[in-house]
A and B are shown apart, each in its own frame.
Chain A
Amino acid sequence: MKRDTKRTTVFTRRALLIAGVEVAALGALAAKLYQVQVIDGRRYALLAHTNRISPRLLAPPRGRILDRDGTPVAANQTNWRALLMVEQTRDIAATLDRFATLVPLADHERARIEREIGRHRRFIPVTLRDFLDWEEMARIEVNAPDLPGVSIDVGATRRYPFDDSLAHVVGYVAPPSEDDQGDDPILALPGMRVGRAGIEKFHEAVLRGHAGVQQLEVNAAGRVIRELDRQDGTPGAELGLTIDSALQQAVLSRLGDESASAVVLDARNGEVLAMATNPSFDPALFNAGVSQAQWVEWTNSRRTPLINKAVAGLYAPGSTFKMTVALAGLEARSLTPTDRINCPGHLDIGDTRFHCWRRGGHGLLDLRGGLKNSCDVFFYEVARRTGIDTIAAMAKRLGLGVKLDIELPEARSGLVPTRAWRRAHGHPWNLGDTIVHGIGQGFLQLTPLQLATMAARLATGRAVQPHLTRSIDGVAQPGATADFWPSLGLPEASLDHVREGMWAVVNEPGGTAPLARLAGPQQLAGKTGSTQVRRVSREAREHGFKSENLPWEFRPHALFVAFAPYDAPQYAVSVVVEHGNAGAAAAAPMARDIMAATLERDPSNRAPPPGPRLAQGPKLP
């Protein structure tokens, strides 16, 4: 019993000790609370009531886009603008009225401002006016006491140094729409833009960057007292393109006034060196907002300036498809390089007569001669022997009618028909359909980029994919070397027969495109094409039909594909001139000059490999 008493005594003593410690600790808390709330409280209360800490998001600078030499093709320039902090103004309408007396606001501007005020959270400022000049800024600053919540801010706006010459490739940015803003709160910030087309749209996530945060101490009147803390955002990544902007300008100017497009590829690795579409537009116009009149003009134009014809223009390839048909025949062994086919000027299938472009016919031709003379009957016959599905499979191997890995959201995949495709549309496939596809007509719909890709693959035998991104933030992107790309798996002998035919087209007397011959020692191999956009009746054909006499929109398209130098191919070119009549006359000289300019600039051998920027300043020993 004594032991128990002892035990109880110890427990009581220690329980009281523990309780004492705990109560003391609670008392200490109360004392600390006194310190925080009353002694230090005045300081904190000031922070809370008069000097609010107001966090502000900082828009990250959008990543620049450079060409392969490091020349900016999309950059940022400073933009002085007036902002309104909605939570700092009591009477929004009165403030806007006063602002309008200093800097006139059009009705549609005011409507936009009111819409944004309703949409944004109250601590996100709304842009009242972009691109202020000095005089306007001075007027606003002088009247600042009458304009609660209005501040002048420096932001960045997108600048395109090459104006319209790279508009289709680089694309453009525009203010975000309400749909965009669900993605990322920083889009609500003034001055934020999102890519709407081209590279700007495709690489939006890379270019945008991440917002920073600024902690501002703001007094009761909303005036910023000081910056307490600043975490700069992460700027968007810098993109290096494969484009040679000087070459691009040369190509665009060579297209002249034609509604046309041209693509220059490095045939060995698929780098797009130039991709020109004419007519073009000024991408900077989208930044501020396109006027209604401008928009109507663009969208109503038959020459479709807003469409990147190089990747979204669809054309029947015409005779430029004949290499594909030949390779399909060689692969299927329905054609040998030495097979000779007689061209009497037409081919009769059932009671339908298919004409050769040359009324008298070409007589006996082998593959080389068929390509050189672009004989239609020869390829009617090859197509008949080979069949459409085999031809379509070869076309897809060469990059035709498939989705290419180009970094342009506008790119279309076109169409290379098959029996199954025709059946799915509720029609049988007729032999006559196969015949016309032998010369690249019929249902075929291809883009100039696909034609250039085909030329590059024919030239190198590798399945190169055209691409525009050379580096992201200085990190080289894969695909810059030829051995990155797998072989097409076509016998080199077959390719050589086709290449030789293309060489003969340009460089042998009697070829269809003598105008494409290069002046210098290097040789170009190519192929013409012209595709009707309207069926020519037999009657017209027999009465000396001349397509030049047609109205512009009914004239055939002119096409040319080429690669050079013939003995060691480096570059591939495709040119499509809308309603340009004959490929040999309209497109071939352009392709020649473009290729000559490319060989002269030799961009793929000139540019240093992309990599991290070298530090500025003298080198250390």
Chain B
Amino acid sequence: MMERRLLREPEQGWTAKLWQISWGYVLLLCLLAAVGYVALYAAGNGPDAYANRQALRFAVALGLMLAIALIDIRLIARLAWPLYGVGLALLVLVLRYGHVGKGAQRWLEIGGLQLQPSELMKIFLVLALAHWFHRAAWERVGNPLFLLPPALAILLPMALILKEPNLGTALITGMVGASVLLAAGVRLWKFALLAVLAGIAAPLAYHHLHDYQRARITTFLHPETDPLGAGYNIIQSKIALGSGGLWGAGFQQVSQSQLNLLPERQTDFIFTILAEQFGLVGGVCVIALLGMIVLGGFAVALRCTHPFGRLVALGIATNFCLYALVNIAMVMGAIPVGGVPLPLVSHGGSAMLTTMIGFGILMSVHVHRDVEFPDQRD
């Protein structure tokens, strides 16, 4: 039955699909990457240290994104659960064979090696959840038994990521999953119940946190207690932001962040450099650009005719937004440091690649927004 319907649909050629891509959206992504180039240029005191390599990475990732955009969204849907399985397997592999560095070294490496499977996992989780709710009749969404598998599908990777241990990414994973569930129509009171349970569990969880994670929370609450240790980055970041003022110190001007006073400036604290050199105006422009990209994702979701695409687009846009929120809040000292990069801006290949894979799928939703994609079993 399904095959017949697919056959009836007129075949879209590659060129036709290319025209369906939202080039305006691609332009926004390129703009954000350009912002990243400028920031990395400043962080490395020239293009050679980070900026050029990052530009090359973006070019490759952009090609990959466009290629994924042309893949039929129904094929992606059919691969959703297998991909989810692959993601879980990767997480287990990281736990078994990942590096065993401790302390500060691990903190650096979270951005590079360890984050990769968990970042992919979030996209695969979105696909899997969207696939689950795609074929769910409205009434079934209310059935607790029907909600059990997706809840497990969220908790399982969360647990594995938590064990890595990477608290920040685990929480983002949970929130992304929750947003898909919310959009799929799960009743609001169920989320309220969950929130209450989480509130009860938090003090218990604190006891099971690693020392370095507790240190981050303590430092967050009182950064001045440890100005040379864990609080050093935040204080230096705040000083750099403050010295930027309204209009900024100017591109490539001598600054705190260039005096080697700010560690991790090319990765987690890249936003600090932008806001220092271009001031509040520059910082707000970057936040606005991020907001436009997020809203563009939601526009894709609302424009899509099939539930799978809608949920996928919403999940990916939310994932991106959470990343940006957590990173920027972190450099301003608004939440504990979490080792979360600013997507497409921070230096690093793995985060760049996974972000662009996500946008590729988002774009595939957009290209295939009107395809016939039956949402319920016959």
Task: Please determine whether chains A and B interact with each other in the same assembly.
Answer: yes
Interface, chain A (partner B; CB < 8 A): 3-4, 6-7, 10-12, 14-19, 22-23, 25-26, 29-30, 32-34, 36-38, 40-45, 47-49, 53, 55, 213, 215, 228-229, 231
8 smallest CB-CB distances across A and B, nearest first, come from: A44-B242, A48-B243, A41-B242, A19-B298, A37-B280, A22-B321, A45-B243, A3-B138
Determine how close the nearest CB of chain A comes to the CB of B288; give it in whole angstroms: 8
Is A49's CB under 8 angstroms from B243's CB?
A: yes
B238-260 interface bits toward A, Cβ cutoff 8 Å, 1 = contact, 0 = none:
11111111100000000110000
Cβ–Cβ < 8 Å partners of B328 in chain A = 29, 33
User: Does A7 contact B242, Cβ atoms closer than 8 Å?
Assistant: no
Chain A residue contacts of B283, Cβ below 8 A: 30, 33, 37
Given known A-B contacts A14-B183, A15-B301, A18-B183, A44 and B227 have beta carbons under 8 A apart: no
A37 and B290 form a contact (CB under 8 A)? no
Instruction: Tell me whether A30 and B284 are in contact (CB under 8 A).
Output: yes
Complex Cα distance, B239 from A49, in Å, reads: 9
Question: Which of the residues A38, A44, A45, A55 comes within 8 Å of B280, measured between beta carbons?
Answer: A38
- Look across to chain A and name the residue whose beta carbon is closest to the beta carbon of B256: A48
Residue of B with least CB distance to A20: B298
Among B242, B307, B314, which residue has its beta carbon within 8 angstroms of that of A42?
A: B242
Q: How far is the CB of B248 from chain A (nearest CB, A)?
A: 9
CB <8 Å contact, A37 and B279: yes
Whole-angstrom distance between the alpha carbons of A85 and B59 in the complex? 46
Contacts of B246 in A (CB 8 A): 37-38, 41
B 250-308 contacts with A by CB, 8 A: 255-256, 275, 279-280, 283-284, 287-288, 290-291, 294-295, 298, 301-302, 307
> Given contacts A6-B138, A18-B183, A26-B325, are A37 and B294 in contact (CB under 8 A)?
no
Given contacts A17-B182, A26-B291, A41-B241, 15 further A-B contacts (CB under 8 A): A10-B185, A15-B301, A15-B310, A18-B179, A18-B182, A22-B317, A22-B321, A29-B325, A29-B329, A36-B241, A38-B245, A38-B246, A40-B242, A41-B245, A215-B227
Quick one: closest B residue to A44, CB to CB? B242
Does chain A have a CB within 8 A of B48?
Answer: no
In the assembled complex, the CB of B312 is this many whole angstroms from the nearest CB of chain A, namely 12
Q: Is B375 on the interface with A (CB-CB < 8 A)? A: yes
A599 to B325, CA, bound (A): 79
Residues from chain B with Cβ under 8 Å of A19 in the complex = 294-295, 298, 317
**In this assembly, does B166 line the interface, its C-beta being within 8 Å of a C-beta of chain A?**
no
Min Cβ gap B358→A in Å is 15
Query: Contact between A37 and B324 (Cβ–Cβ < 8 Å)?
Result: no
Contact status B332-A29, CB under 8 Å? yes
Q: Return the chain A residue nearest B329 by Cβ.
A: A29
- Cross-chain contact A15 with B287 (CB below 8 angstroms): no
Task: Check: B194 CB closer than 8 A to any chain A CB.
Answer: no
Whether A15 touches B185, Cβ cut-off 8 Å, given contacts A29-B325, A44-B243, is no
**Residues in chain B near residue A36, CB distance under 8 A:** 238, 241-242, 332-333
Which residue of A is nearest B136, CB measured?
Answer: A7
Tell me the complex Cα distance, A15–B183, Å.
Answer: 6
13 contacts between A and B (CB under 8 A): A3-B137, A7-B307, A14-B185, A18-B318, A26-B291, A29-B334, A32-B329, A36-B238, A37-B241, A37-B242, A41-B244, A48-B256, A49-B243
Tell whether, in the assembled complex, residue A228 and residue B243 are in contact, meaning their CB atoms are under 8 Å apart.
no
Q: Is B159 an interface residue (CB 8 A)?
A: no
Q: Which residues of B contact A38 (CB under 8 A)?
A: 245-246, 280
Instruction: Tell me if B184 is interfacial: C-beta within 8 Å of chain A.
Output: yes
Out of B137, B243, B287, B298, name the residue touching A26 (CB < 8 Å).
Answer: B287
Check B183–A11 contact: CB distance below 8 A. yes
Contacts of A53 in B (CB 8 A): 239
Task: Tell me, rounded to whole Å, the shortest Cβ–Cβ distance linking B92 to chain A.
Answer: 31
Considering the complex, give the chain A residue whose CB is closest to the CB of B237: A36
Within 8 A of A (CB), among B188-246: 227-228, 238-246
Q: Is there contact, CB below 8 Å, between B238 and A44?
A: yes
- The CA-CA distance from A17 to B183 in the complex, in Å, is 9
A47 CA to B179 CA, complexed, in Å: 41
When distances are taken between beta carbons in the complex, the residues of chain A under 8 Å from B310 are: 11, 15
Docked-complex contact A33 and B185, CB < 8 angstroms: no
A17 to B185, alpha carbons, bound, how many Å? Answer: 12
Beyond A34-B280, A37-B244, is A48–B239 a contact (Cβ under 8 Å)?
A: yes
List, in ascending order, chain B residues with CB within 8 A of A215's CB.
227-228
Known A-B contacts A10-B185, A44-B241; the reply to A37 vs B275 at CB < 8 A is: yes
Residues of B within 8 A of A18 (CB): 179, 182-183, 298, 314, 318
Chain B window 309-343, contacts with chain A (Cβ cutoff 8 Å), 1 for yes, 0 for no: 01100100110010011001100111000000000
Shortest beta-carbon distance from A5 to chain B in Å = 10
Let me know if A37 and B184 touch, CB within 8 A.
no
CA of A418 to CA of B18, assembled, Å: 88
Q: Which residues of A contact B280 (CB under 8 A)?
A: 33-34, 37-38
Closest to B225 in A: A229
Q: Are A29 and B228 in contact (CB under 8 A)?
A: no
Chain B residues near A33 (CB, 8 Å)? 241, 275, 280, 283-284, 287, 328, 332
Known: A15-B183, A33-B284, A36-B332. A22 touches B294 (CB 8 A): yes
Q: In the docked arrangement, what's the CA distance between A22 and B172, Å?
A: 13
Instruction: Choose from A11, A43, A228, A231 the contact partner of B185 (Cβ within 8 Å).
Output: A11
Residues of chain A contacted by B279 (CB below 8 angstroms)? 37
Which residue in chain A gives the minimum CB-CB distance to B228? Answer: A213
Taking a contact as CB atoms under 8 Å apart, the answer to whether B314 and A23 are in contact is no
Contact across chains for B242 and A229 when beta carbons are under 8 A apart: no
**Whole-angstrom distance between the Cβ of B52 and the nearest chain A Cβ:** 28
Question: What residue in chain A is nearest B324 (Cβ atoms)?
Answer: A26
Known A3-B138, A7-B307, A48-B242; contact A231-B325, beta-carbon cutoff 8 A: no
Taking CB atoms, residues of chain A closer than 8 Å to B240 are 48
Give Cα distance in the complex from A157 to B224, angstroms: 34
- Interchain CB contact under 8 A, B298 and A15: yes
Contact with B302, one of A7, A12, A55, A229 (Cβ below 8 angstroms): A12
Is there contact, CB below 8 Å, between A229 and B228? yes
Q: Chain B's nearest CB lies how many Å from the CB of A449? A: 44
Cβ 8 A contact of B287, one of A16, A29, A37, A228? A29
Q: Choose among B184, B245, B294 the residue that contacts A11 (Cβ–Cβ < 8 A).
A: B184
B185 to chain A, nearest CB (A): 5
Q: Which residues of B lie under 8 Å from residue A44 when comparing CB positions?
A: 238-239, 241-243
Closest Cβ of chain B: how far from A343's Cβ, in Å? Answer: 73
Chain B residues lying within 8 Å of A23, measured Cβ to Cβ, are 291, 294-295
A45–B242 CA distance with the chains assembled, in angstroms: 5
Q: What chain A residues lie within 8 Å of B284 (beta carbons)?
A: 30, 33-34
Q: Across the interface, which residues of A come within 8 angstroms of B184, CB to CB?
A: 11
The reply to whether A32 and B238 form a contact with Cβ atoms under 8 Å apart is no
Q: Nearest A residue to B245 by beta-carbon distance?
A: A41
B303 CB, min distance to chain A CBs, angstroms: 11
Residues of B contacting A26 with CB < 8 Å?
Answer: 287, 290-291, 294, 321, 324-325
Task: Judge whether A47 and B239 touch: CB under 8 Å.
Answer: yes
Could you say which residues of chain B place their CB within 8 Å of the CB of A11? 183-185, 307, 310-311
Give every chain B residue within 8 A of A16 (Cβ-Cβ).
298, 302
| Closest CB in chain A relative to B224 CB, distance in Å | 9
| CB–CB B242/A47 < 8 A | yes
Which of B245, B288, B290, B332 is close to A45, meaning CB atoms less than 8 Å apart?
B245
Distance to closest chain B CB from A214 (angstroms): 10
